[in-house]
Amino acid sequence: MKNYSEDWEAVIGLEIHVQLSTKSKLFSGASTDFGALPNTQACNIDLAMPGVLPVLNEEVLRMAIKLGKALNAQINSPTSFARKNYFYPDSPKGYQISQMDKPIVENGYLDIETKEGNKRIGVTRAHLEEDAGKSLHDDFEGQSGIDLNRAGTPLLEIVSEPEINTPEEAVAYLKSIHSIIRYLGISDGNMAEGSMRCDANVSVRKIGDENLGTRTETKNVNSFRFVEKAIQYEIERQIHELESGNKITQETRLYDSQANSTRPMRSKEFANDYRYFPEPDLLPINLENEFIEEVMASMPEMPNQKKERFVSEFNLSEYDASLLAADKDLADFFEEVAKVSNSPKLSANWIMGELSAELNKENLSINESKISSNKLGQLILRIEDGTISGKIAKEIFEKLWSSDNEVDEIIQSEGLEQVTDDKEIESIIDGVIKNNPEQLEQYRSGKDRLFGFFVGQVMKASQGKANPKQVNDILRKKLEK
Amino acid sequence: MDLHKLSLNQQLNGLKEGDFTSTELTSHYLDRISKLDKELNSFITVTEDQALLQAGAADKRYKEKSNLALDGLPIAHKDIFCTKGVLTTCGSKMLSNFEAPYSSTVYEKLDNEGMVMLGKTNMDEFAMGSSNETSYFGPVKNPWDTEYVPGGSSGGSASCVSAELAPVATATDTGGSIRQPASLCGLTGIKPTYGRVSRYGMIAFASSLDQGGVVARSAEDAALILEAMSGHDSKDSTSLKLDKPDLTKGLDDSIKGMKIGLPKEFFAQDMPAYIEKSIEEAIEVYKSLGAEVVEVSLSNINLSLPIYYIIAPAECSANLSRYDGVRYGYRCENPKDIEDLYMRTREEGFGKEVKRRILIGTYALSAGYYDAYYLKAQKCRQLVANDFSEAFKSVDVILSPTTPGTSFKSGEKADDPIEMYLQDIFTIPANLAGLPGLSVPCGEYEGLPLGMQLVGNSLEEAKLLQFAHSYQSNTDWHKKMPNI
């Protein structure tokens, strides 16, 4: 199908729902903890009892302002809420309190990294709204259950401009938003638990076409990889339809990750008329400048700033810096390791090399690392101060990963200190030369590549503890004789 | 002793002095209810056991000299206020089985002052109606003549206070639902400034217009209870961030030199001669007390009814969406799927008038009509509010009739919604502008009472009550009670 891409381009816009990590709900005092027994975290307000009224959790204003600032956006004041009317059992009021005309965040942008360099994606708006509950269709024979624990949980819906053109760009944008919300500490961004959800609006058109094609909205995509695959599938499906002379139906589609395909959910032709109107139970909110400034003063360093600092302060490459800075936890881990080891460059290499490999192997996040940042820093410090060689360090790393021992304990108890005494190294080298007369002769008659063989033998004889640089220097002299 | 003939302050003094106990007072009213309410149907629920418990507790506090401000005074609550563990129906089949799991702020505030709840009063379904004929629990009768309606939607509250089955009652007013029944039952009813009384636990009809208040036998009684109901409530985001006002202190102050405005637009309408005559007499009373009377203009006031019948139904169409048969309240039998559950629950659970307003509101908010109806209505609403602001630059209160006539017979307007809607033509503007409004009895025609309305500037409930009280100190209309 790839050969379509020459003539066609995709136009993609993403709507990202981010669950804000407040302690209580958007309009009630009920807890937002994940995983409680059904309906134990739904109070009278969440249950939409007759006569109850919403009271805004002000913490969400701070969170939204932070996001707005991170997206270079304007903060609207007054900002106001609206009712979005629709009937569904997990929407207890029969309407959702959302924002329409005056979203709290508007007109921002985000720079993402693509193969062709940086690309700016416009962020149309980000608005506050309440989450719905959950309908449970499989738990009760012939009936549906309703769990309203999630009802009223605060969401920020971040809507991009349709300025994304490839699945890769979509993922880069999504990852960037993920990184920002994690940095700001406004959401855990956990896609598997649904605290970050992505809907993709996709259309295709012939390159050069001014008009947009008919779009579909793909829902239910709950990982970065699936976002990429779902969009890729949808682009190819639409191109195939159009090239076969068919039309695209404007509709909502569900992504099925097992089949890696999308299927129609409901047609927008029969779409609800949501009958938005201003929420009369909540007055428009004036955000005083003082309040906004106070929030902005509490903004943490953002991924881009951190990346630049890693480059300038630690002399990391752009690539390394950007990789480390993308994930706040990873960046924090790195900074701790660098501080203990006093060697940022080596710390970066170890984190992105050995540590990442080990984490990936066991499917762990950086926070679940079996080696603490302090221990890794100690290990690297011992390389730096010459106590151990890099090779030995890798062995110790394995031991640290599977035990609770300290770095220095392992070095001492197993006698792993590097041999740096010239005399001791000379005597090992002498032994190796003596035991390999044939190879010595070949080397001296011009077979230079046997140098490596001798290094290997020396390291083996020293059980890897000989300082490699000294081994090189002394061996070269001895072999030349 | 005819305990029910005593004013609230007299009853309170009697309790304090030990002339009678709250249990005696409460039992006296419970007896009257059981004797007289069969015909009036002003109560949906009588909370006899709970009332006697509350009264007993009040008596104990009096004995221990730890009595509260309104301790032991009985009151009836409109069945729109949620009361924990007690049936709270809002006059609808939809909530005919609904025991509220919590209490409204209004109930809590009065309960905290020691007031004794006699029961929950009948009302038009979801407060939609002007005759109390839309209640699922049957129509309420006017004690002045049981062939006549008590007005609505707070018809049960007005009827029971008028019949002296309760000394005072809470009520709510979205377009006149306190003032119109007060007028038709010969009572003093006040709707305060929007945001004065918490709406938490007061079942919503039209959120931007609904306001709790009180129907009483005098301005003095009304002031006492309204003050206790008022004040900021953090559970209601539209509640004004103000402490409760002192409404009783200035009641006896002179109104000499104050200005009464007569809106020429109201008086230009065709008005029955008996109303004109009563209003003129009231004006003469005020003049004799030293008030100045001037004409004012509320030039957009004629827009009030159409504005109201866009905004109120629009808000109600959303507010009533929660009654879906899923979590509480009425649910249809054997729904075959979720769509069927919704449709039949709402078809069977709501009455005709409620459905009419949900339909009007849904239409007014739908795509393509929103700008022409809802948005335009909101803009016009601002014009009405501006007219009042302008008028209050030169006058203290605005006086008009409360209703276009005295009460009408049951069934007379039931099939003519427009005729029924016209009942509120004088009262709706105050709701649109969020202003306090009050109705006091000022005459009688063919044996039925008739009220005049005073509208005040924002937050000036005290001034309104002062005007009402000075009138009542010099006239006897409010003392006339029906013979039942």
The answer to the question of residue B87 being in a domain is: yes
| Residue A128 dihedral angles phi and psi, to the nearest 5° | -85, 140
CB atoms within 10 A of CB A118: 8
| A137, A218, A222, A250, B148 from A266: Cα distances, Å | 18, 11, 19, 10, 53
Q: Answer yes or no: is B362 within a domain.
A: no
- Whether residue B323 lies inside any domain: the answer is no
pLDDT tens figures, B415-436: 888 888 889 999 999 999 999 9
Residue A307: predicted pLDDT: 93
Over residues A81-103, mean pLDDT: 96
Residues of A within 8 A of B362 (CB-CB) are: 275
Instruction: Provide CB contacts within 8 A for A175, sequence distance 6+.
Output: A224, A326
- Of A466, A31, A271, nearest to B366 by C-alpha is A271
3-state helix, strand, coil in chain A (%, to 5): 40, 20, 35
Residue-wise burial string across A63-84, b where 16 or more C-beta atoms lie within 10 A, e elsewhere: bbbbbbbbbebebbbebbbbbb
Alpha helices in B89-131 (DSSP H): 105-112
For residue B367, give the nearest of A47, A83, A273 by CB distance. Answer: A273
Give the residue carrying structure tokens 């009836």.
B76
The more confidently predicted of residues B143 and A411 is B143
Question: How confident is the model at residue A270, as a pLDDT?
Answer: 55
Residue B65 falls within a domain, yes or no?
A: yes
Residue whose structure tokens are 């590549």: A449
Parallel, antiparallel or unpaired: strands A251-256 and A216-221: parallel
Assigned domain for B134 exists: yes
How far apart CA B237 and CA A281 sit, in angstroms, is 7
Tokens (6 digits) for A350: 């170890």
Contact B98 A55 (CB under 8 A): no
B96 is annotated as an active-site residue: no
What phi and psi, each to the nearest 5 degrees, are found at residue A80? -140, 165
* Contact criterion met (CB below 8 Å) for B357 and B316: yes
Q: What number of residues does chain A have?
A: 481
Q: Does A280 touch chain B (CB under 8 A)?
A: yes
The Cβ of residue B64 has, within 10 Å, a number of other Cβ atoms equal to: 8
Question: Are B188 and B439 in contact, with CB atoms under 8 Å apart?
Answer: yes
With CB atoms and an 8 Å threshold, state whether B208 touches A49: no
Q: In what order do the strands lie in the sheet with B437-445?
A: B43-46, B116-121, B74-78, B169-173, B211-216, B188-191, B437-445, B448-456, B397-401, B259-263, B292-296
Closest CA to B59 of B22, B112, B111, B18: B22
Domain-embedded: residue B411: no
Q: Is residue B224 part of a domain?
A: yes
What are chain A's domains?
2-291 (no CATH), 301-413 (no CATH), 422-480 (1.10.10.410)
Mean pLDDT taken over chain A: 92
Query: Which of B203, B204, B237 comes nearest A56 by C-beta?
Result: B237
DSSP string, A382-442: HHHTTSS-HHHHHHHHHHHHHS---HHHHHHHTT-PPB--HHHHHHHHHHHHHH-HHHHHH
What percentage of chain B exceeds 90 in pLDDT? 96
A202-219 burial, b at 16+ Cβ within 10 Å, e below that, comes to bbbbeeeeeeebbbbbbb
Q: What is the number of other CB atoms lying within 10 angstroms of the CB of residue B112?
A: 12
Q: Judge whether residue A33 has pLDDT over 90.
A: no
In total, how many domains does chain B have? 1
Q: Which residues of B touch A49 (CB under 8 A)?
A: 82, 100-102, 328
Q: For A53, which of B101, B236, B318 is closest by C-beta distance?
A: B236
Please give the share of chain A, as a percent, with pLDDT higher than 90: 70
pLDDT tens track for A353-411 = 999 999 999 999 999 999 999 999 999 999 988 888 888 899 999 999 999 989 988 88
Identified catalytic residue from B78, B109, B191, B413: B78
What's residue A267's pLDDT? 55
- Supply the mean pLDDT for chain B: 97
**C-alpha distances out from residue A199 to A121, A267, A401, Å:** 16, 16, 39
Give the per-residue pLDDT at A266.
64
Prior bond of B153 cis (ω within 30°): yes
Tens-place pLDDT, residues B267-320: 876 789 999 999 999 999 999 999 999 999 999 999 999 999 999 999 999 999
pLDDT at site B364: 96
**B327 to chain A: which residues are within 8 Å by CB?**
47-48, 92, 146
Place of tokens 């976002």: A227
Give the CATH number for residue B99.
Answer: 3.90.1300.10
Is B120 among the domain residues? yes
From the candidates B103, B104, B130, B153, give the one annotated as an active-site residue: B153
Beta carbons within 10 angstroms of residue A294's beta carbon: 12
Domain that holds residue B33: 3-255+436-479
Q: Flag the least confident range among A177-181, A457-461, B223-227, B294-298.
A: A457-461
| Neighbour-count burial of A2, counting CB atoms closer than 10 A to its CB (0-12 exposed, 13-18 middle, 19+ buried) | exposed
Q: Say whether pLDDT at A418 is over 60.
A: yes
The Cα–Cα gap between A170 and A233 comes to 13
Q: Render pLDDT for B89-107 as a digit per residue (tens, 0 to 9).
A: 999 999 999 999 999 999 9
**Taking CB atoms and an 8 Å limit, are A93 and B365 in contact across chains?**
no
pLDDT tens, position by position, A113-151? 888 889 999 999 999 999 999 988 888 888 889 999 999
Question: What CA dihedral angle connects B88, B91, B96 and B100, to 10 degrees?
Answer: -10
Going by pLDDT thresholds of 50, 70 and 90, the confidence category of residue A24 is very high
pLDDT of residue A1: 43
| Average pLDDT score over residue span B217-241 | 98
ipTM entry: 0.96
Q: Write out chain A residues lying below 8 Å of B200, CB-based.
A: 51-53
- Residue A461: pLDDT band (50, 70, 90) is confident
Q: What is the pLDDT of residues A206-236, one digit of tens each?
A: 998 999 999 999 987 889 999 999 999 999 9
